Amino acid sequence: MESKQTDSGAARSGTGNKGLKQNAIGFLDALVIGLASTAPAYSLAAVIGLVVVTVGTQAPAVLLASFVPMFFIAAAFYYMNRADQDCGTTFSWVTRAMGPWAGWMGGWAICVTGILVIGSLADVAARYTYLLLGLEGMAGSKLAVTLLAVLIILVMTAVCVIGTEISAKVQNVMITAQVVALLFFAAAALFQVFGGTAPESSIQPQLSWLNPFAIEDSSALIAGLLTGVFIYWGWESAVNLTEEVEDSATAPGRAAVVSTVILLLTYVSVTIAVVAFAGLAQVQKFADDDAIFSTVANGVLGSPWDQIVVLSVLTSALASTQTTILPASRTTLSMARAGAMPASLGDVHPRLLTPHVSTIVIGVLATVWYVVVNVLSANFLFDTLSALSLMIAFYYSLTGFACAIYYRHELLKSVKNFVFIGLAPVLGGLILGFLFFRSIFDLADPGVSYTGGSLFGFGLPLVIGLGFLILGAVLMLLWRFFGDHEAFSHRRLETVDTPWEEG
């Protein structure tokens, strides 16, 4: 097991062996960052209509079922982070358990997901900013939205560079605003439903809404699970800051696990409230429109209180724009320090104690991707988001398998070890692995593309998703054969150090 301190100078300065600032934030800060990275208000607004179209009133059940593999993989993150606090990243863990090249591909997938989605989140934040200010004309202008979105990315990148503490303080405000607003909105909607003052289209919630086995169409359930992977994704940002969190061996992992539970409660309660208040017909109209909350909130809260929900979506997108930079930048830092990427990406600012080079690179690449794609077509941007499920399922499943492999000599020493370190991570990995291959099949259909376009007969979302994974494999081979990287490429498989202290 690697030591968290490799030299006395680092210990005296309060920095770890990478030069990052130790104990910069606490458990609650890590929890908030994990929650914020999922963009709960925006994520739910973006997909709730689609899920209802797919499975009707069983939408809450789909979100409940989607939680299961997320919780299992969160357990894998917890135990892998206990053994190795190297930026809390899949790259380091998979490299140890499954070899350097599997680790490289896992790290590449994390970096790419960040680059692909940051611009989309900033785009939503920009559009909702104009709507909140009553500037509907600018909200409908691609140029105005793009310019503000680019500014948002630059500002959020700067916040990440300035320091982890300020990042946490910004997130504390924004996550409170969005989660409180969502729960207030849900409570108000359910109060009217049960009080008999909701619209005629409203329906009484039933316990059966929480039963995923009531969904007779397995294809519909699988499609819902693929959507669920997207809206739960992001909680691991809490672990990516592990070297900067107090009690780095356990607190970040606990924050990740707790964040998935909080997301479950938020997603299920809000979905029940929206479906019950608005009814199926109205919710289904928003299958590809994230304006559902602002529309339903007007009926629930009236004006101007409905703007609270608009503000929650805005802060959700803003918060996630910032926090999504963190996993990609910390993974890049870890890869650079391990000799898997250019060494300059592993530089840490001597005063700010943040990985400024990798953070700026991620911010710049995300900006370039967003501007180019948005100029081509706004629908192409949506196809990019559809492709994310491939890479998310890919590196999450790798992490689940890596956990069981790395701890393989410890699994039969207790029932707890077997269940939480072996069985749960492997089941999570198998479910997400299945969803990975199923999404390849589904995304191959050009009909699922927002642009309606195809390449080589395949839908654009599949071309984007697999294209980036193939690009990663090519870059990995170039790095292997055209450079002096023997220390990384010849790393041997490892297991957890023994004796291992159970906890």
Count of positions (residues) in the chain: 503
Tell whether omega for the bond before 304 is within 30 degrees of 0, i.e. cis. Answer: yes
Q: Residue 463: pLDDT above 90?
A: no
Residue 2 pLDDT exceeds 50:
no
pLDDT tens figures, 45-96: 878 888 888 888 888 999 999 999 999 999 999 999 988 888 778 999 999 9
pLDDT bracket for residue 7 (50, 70, 90): very low
Q: How confident is the model at residue 458 (pLDDT cuts 50, 70, 90)?
A: confident
Domains (range + CATH), the chain = 17-489 (1.20.1740.10)
Query: Would you say 167 and 326 are in contact if contact means Cβ atoms under 8 Å apart?
Result: yes
Render 53-115 in DSSP notation, one character per residue.
HHHGGGHHHHHHHHHHHHHHHHHHHHHHHHH--STT-HHHHHHHHH-HHHHHHHHHHHHHHHH
pLDDT of residue 40: 84
Nearest of 337, 274, 235 to residue 51 by alpha carbon: 274
Tokens of 455: 């390449």
Beta-carbon contacts of residue 420 (< 8 Å; ≥ 6 apart): 75, 79
Instruction: State pTM to two decimals.
Output: 0.88
337 token code pair: 């320090």
Rounded (10°) angle between helices 40-55 and 164-195:
40
pLDDT at 108: 95
User: What's the pLDDT band for 454 if we cut at 50, 70, 90?
Assistant: low
Percent of the chain with pLDDT over 70: 90
CB 248 within 8 A of CB 85: yes
Confidence of residue 379 (pLDDT cuts 50, 70, 90): low
142-201 pLDDT per residue, tens: 899 999 999 999 998 998 888 766 666 666 666 777 778 888 888 888 998 888 887 888
Residue 4: pLDDT band (50, 70, 90) is very low
Please tell me the predicted confidence (pLDDT) of residue 6.
35
DSSP H or E run through 282: helix 280-284
